[in-house]
Amino acid sequence: MQNIAESQPVILIVEDTIDFAEMTMHILRRMGIEASHTVSAADAIEFIDSQCPDLVLLDLNLPGESGWEVLKHLNESNIERHVPVIVTSAYSDSANRLVGKLQNVYKYMIKPFPPQDLMQAVRQALRLEEA
């Protein structure tokens, strides 16, 4: 397995289920990547505005405002570059997937999913895959 040695990407995990967030952080650490974690849309928006992450792993079902509010903020903010978003959700209906596409979601992953699928999606989103 190849580690990321150059500059560490800034990854934000927005997930209110602590077990799932910890599992995701463990998978990323196996890839040589550290990530930050928030449990609410408000905290995620604050992090995005201050850190401008390279990638956001976003649950849609959050306490208070939903993950859709985070996507709306990313699409409407004055961030200098596009931030890819991988939605990790238990919502499997086609309507949510369609809205995700319209909101510029990089990938929509339905929980639960194999760790290898997440690793591949992260590599692709960060453009770490070999051509």
* Span 71-111, pLDDT tens digits: 999 988 877 678 999 999 887 777 767 776 767 789 999 99
Residues of 80-112 as b/e, b for ≥16 C-beta within 10 angstroms?
eeebbbbbbbebeeeebbebbeebebbbbeeee
CATH among 2.30.60.10, 2.102.10.10, 3.40.50.970, 3.40.50.2300 for 11-125: 3.40.50.2300
Using pLDDT thresholds of 50, 70 and 90, give the confidence band for residue 5: very low
For the residues 35-47, what does the mean pLDDT come to?
A: 96
pLDDT value of position 35 = 96
pLDDT value of position 106 = 92
**What is the number of H-type helices and E-type strands within the chain?**
5, 5
pLDDT value of position 131 = 38
Q: Do the Cβ atoms of 79 and 56 come closer than 8 Å?
A: no
pTM: 0.87
For the residues 41-51, what does the mean pLDDT come to?
A: 95
Query: Is a pLDDT exceeding 50 seen at residue 2?
Result: no
Identify the sign of the CA torsion 61, 99, 71, 54: positive
